[in-house]
Amino acid sequence: MLGGAAGLSMLICTLNKKRRYHTAVTAVKALLIAVVLEATIFNIPTFRLWFGSYGEMSFSAQELSVNSNVDYRPAEDDIAVIGDRSTTFTFKGINEEVADVFVDIDFGKNTKAANVSIDAMDETRTTDYRQMIAEGTLVKGKPHSHYIQLHLSGDVSNLKLTVSPLDEGMVYIKGITFNQQIPMSISWARIFLIVFAACFWQLMMKSKTMQYSFTKNKKIFRLACVIITDIACLAAVLITFTKLDNTSITDIMKRPSGNQMTQELVEAFEHGSTRLLTEPVDELNNFPTPYNSDALDEAHIRYQWDHVYFNEHYYSYYGIAPVILVFLPYHLLTGYFFPDSIAVLLFAIIGMIGLTRLYKEFLKRFFPKTPTGIAIAGLILIQTVSGVWFSIGRPLFYEVAMSAGFATLTWAVYFLFSANIIGTEKPILSRTAIASLLFAIAVLCRPTLVLYCITAALFMVLALPRMSAAKKKSEKKLFTSSGVRYLLCAIVPMACIGLAQMWYNYDRFGSPFEFGIQYSLTINDFTKTQFHPRLSWTALYNYFLNPPVFKTYYPIIGTEFQFMNAGGYFYADLNSTANTSGLFFLALPMFVYLLSGRAVKMVHGGRRAKLLSAAYIAIPCLFIPFGIVASVWESGYAVRYMVDFAWQSLLGAYTIIFFFYSRITDPTKKKLISAFMWFSVMWGLVVAGVQEFNQAFRFDIYNREFPEMAYEVQRMFAFWV
């Protein structure tokens, strides 16, 4: 590592002989500092045995089996620990200082880890064991995890070590050693984070190029956008295929079965039906309270979980756009059902690209003088906390709907911006029509997004006077020929798809405005639930204001869900999807909303101009997100819902920050804003990134599938372990 860093530094210095690029100098310094820290402070357990007289003591499997009730296998010379058994090894009369315990262990095919606990007696405790004085998780493929450090007083007289396979798996103990040299463990992610932080600080605060507006650095900004988006898309691909455990893409795409969206709706549409083909059992049809899942379970009545049950038929309340556009054609062409994981990945990548495009258009239209460094920082942060990562992390049919809505809504907003719907220029008809179409499709992906669609329609109507403006200022006709053409482009696509959705609703439930969620067979009887503001407050607090909790052990960064003494039933899907910090603590620029009043006062123009500017931000970026979150009082908390409002809210916060920057003349204040954006990016990458990673690769009381990922996260921050 040190040699490679020296060689890379020499290469950078050679290429930068004339010191044209100050960031290269910073990179060299940061790299050298990072690797020195990695070889010293961050691997401090390695040097423990250098400071003291520690004699190494090794015990083979055969020696461990003497006078012990263990499953010793002579042929393999190991001790098997299988299933829910725990094997305890007792060492008496050690009378030596013990700095660490190394467990030489092999793992069964489907076993990834084993838990270890140590009881010990030292010179301060000579009669009874200090129970569980040390604990650890031995992880397959992570040799450094096989060492358990001890920090006891004086000589250890007796010691007990208990090994338990994770999830009733199989492990084979080949030996145990005291005071064996702990090897180094390099965290490349930690090195990269240190170097990136230093280089990004230099660019944000000291680079003259990055102080110029992004419009003067078009090539640099465009390249940065491509790199950031590519990294995000690549990360999504890596997460998806890591969770698929190296399953070949051919096998993934040949799914003989699917779920409610990828199979049941597909088969229903192929049969020309809006109801699902599976029919409810007679017991359900005759049951007096069919929406009470507790009563159904007690009566042992079979029913389809999370399906809509209405008039003795099953339906689906999930959006049909992904079904019509992707899943149905795929099944007709191949005979297979589209896999959830690939669907979420596909929609997420489309949405990430759309998010970058709308962000660039947002800056171009409204804040063209924004410094390149701040513009790049904003893109990194909005991609990090967009909310779609929680869908990528758990790609089931719930997340298919979420990611599909994300894909269409980001592009809809991009075309809304590029069509000049908001601004002073005349709207562009073709882009207006595309925006209208995409907003409507977004509703067909996820009905919750109808609020954004209605808002977009309102903004399009507000743009009509600009389209109808006559050449002669004395003429004030609103419905000119150009105005009518504009209205047709704005309304017809949205209206046509809206009418199709209304017919679909009416055909199923007898009302064009009924999406059917109240008839779901799920966590609660939605036909009888009552609204209480306290339940909405619970959702608002957890989605927006719940602070992170920092720990010295995995998950390092987490958040404790707060039920706020609701005094009523509020469902939190912590078992399936865990939870995350509130958006204000994931994306620190959200706190700028506290300065909204001052920003409105700084807007040029009269009362109408100020109110209109405030409405363009407050309605889609504040009121709708808060309304969406408040409405989940009935269905409960699920971290995947973040994608419905996270990036939208952050975009509004950016509007205020960039507006302030454009009006400030004090160089010191401008520097402070740049520093704040740098800190926000680093905070977001660590606080939001770690929680998103942990949600994708869970290792907690509910799900213990990825101990190797948990260990890497823990080692990255808790380097002393």
pLDDT of residue 476: 62
**Residue 115, exposed/middle/buried by CB under 10 A (0-12, 13-18, 19+)?**
middle
pLDDT in tens, 523-542: 888 989 899 999 999 999 99
Q: Which amino acid is at 696?
A: A
3-state secondary structure of 392: helix
Backbone phi, psi, residue 492, to 5°: -60, -50
Tokens, residue 276: 């699902």
Task: Label each residue of 179-226 as H, E or C.
Answer: CCCCCCCCCHHHHHHHHHHHHHHHHHHCCHHHHCECCCCHHHHHHHHH
What string of H, E and C letters represents the secondary structure of 632-691?
HHCCCECHHHHHHCHHHHHHHHHHHHHHHHHHCCCHHHHHHHHHHHHHHHHHHHHHHHHH
Whether 461 is in a domain gets the answer yes
- 3-class DSSP assignment, residue 557: strand
Q: Are 387 and 492 found together in one domain?
A: no
- Is 524 inside a domain boundary? no
542 and 659 both lie in a single domain = yes
Q: 434 to each of 348, 454, 548, 708, how far by Cα in Å?
A: 20, 15, 40, 45
Contact between 91 and 138 (Cβ < 8 Å): no
What's the gap between Cα 255 and its chain centre? Answer: 26
* Cα separations in angstroms, 194 against 26, 341, 350: 11, 33, 31
Q: What pLDDT digit, counting tens, does each position of 176-235 carry? A: 999 999 999 999 999 999 999 999 999 999 999 999 999 999 999 999 999 999 999 999
The predicted structure's pLDDT at residue 482 = 86
Does residue 134 form part of some domain? Answer: yes
Q: Does residue 189 fall inside a structural domain?
A: no
The DSSP secondary structure of 219-265, one letter per residue, reads HHHHHHHHHHHHHHHHHHHHHHHHHTTT--HHHHH-BS---IIIIIH
Find the DSSP H helices in 428-568: 429-445, 450-462, 464-468, 481-509, 533-540
Clarify whether residues 92 and 153 are in a common domain: yes
Boundary-marking domain end, from 515, 549, 567: 515
d(CA 115, CA 146) in angstroms, rounded, equals 10
Q: How far is the first Cα of the chain from the last one, in angstroms, to the nearest whole number?
A: 21
Asked if residue 708 lies in contact with residue 139, where contact means CB atoms within 8 angstroms, the answer is: yes
Structure tokens at 274: 């809006």
Beta bridge partners of 115: 137, 164
Q: Are 657 and 556 members of one domain?
A: yes
> Is 550 part of a structural domain of the chain?
yes
State the 10-residue block means of pLDDT for the chain, 721 residues long. 93 83 90 96 93 91 88 93 90 94 94 96 94 95 95 95 93 96 94 96 92 94 97 96 85 92 95 94 93 92 93 94 96 96 97 98 95 97 97 92 97 97 92 97 95 96 82 61 91 95 95 92 89 94 96 91 91 88 97 94 88 93 96 92 97 96 93 96 96 93 90 93 85
Helix (H) or strand (E) holding 177: strand 170-178
Q: Tell me if 301 is assigned to some domain.
A: yes
Cα 371 from chain centroid? 28
- Give the DSSP letter of residue 622: I
User: What is the reported pLDDT for 475?
Assistant: 54
List the structure tokens of 655: 């509007």
CB atoms within 10 A of CB 390: 26
d(CA 186, CA 288): 62
Tell me: do 507 and 479 sit in the same domain: yes
ω into 555 cis (within 30 of 0): yes
- End of a domain among 515, 550, 579? 515
Residue 138: predicted pLDDT: 96
- Of 37, 50, 46, residue with least CA distance to 2: 37
Answer for the pair 210, 372: CB distance below 8 angstroms, yes or no. yes
**d(Cα 440, Cα 321) in Å, to the nearest integer?**
10
Q: Is the domain of 276 the same as that of 161?
A: no
Contacts of residue 50, defined as CB under 8 A and 6 or more positions apart, other chains included, come to none
Supply φ then ψ for residue 598, to 5 degrees. -65, -40
Residue 107 placed within a domain: yes
CA-to-CA distance for 404 and 399, rounded, in angstroms?
8
Residue 410 lies in a domain: no
Which of 317, 334, 351 is where one domain is finished? Answer: 334
Backbone φ and ψ for 176, nearest 5 degrees, come out as -135, 135
Do 143 and 74 belong together in one domain?
A: yes
- Write out the residue range of the structural domain in which residue 550 sits: 207-245+339-394+529-717
Same domain for 535 and 430, yes or no, is no
Domain shared by 170 and 282, yes or no: no
Q: Which residue's entry shows tokens 């490349």? A: 188
Q: Are residues 234 and 383 in the same domain?
A: yes
Query: Are 560 and 610 in a shared domain?
Result: yes
H or E stretch including 113? Answer: strand 113-122
Type of residue numbered 549 = V
CB 639 within 8 A of CB 580: yes
User: Measured over all CA atoms, what is the biggest interatomic distance in the chain, rounded to whole angstroms?
Assistant: 106
Structural domain tally of the chain? 5
Distance between CA atoms of 539 and 563, rounded to whole angstroms? Answer: 9
Whether 443 and 467 map to the same domain: the answer is: yes
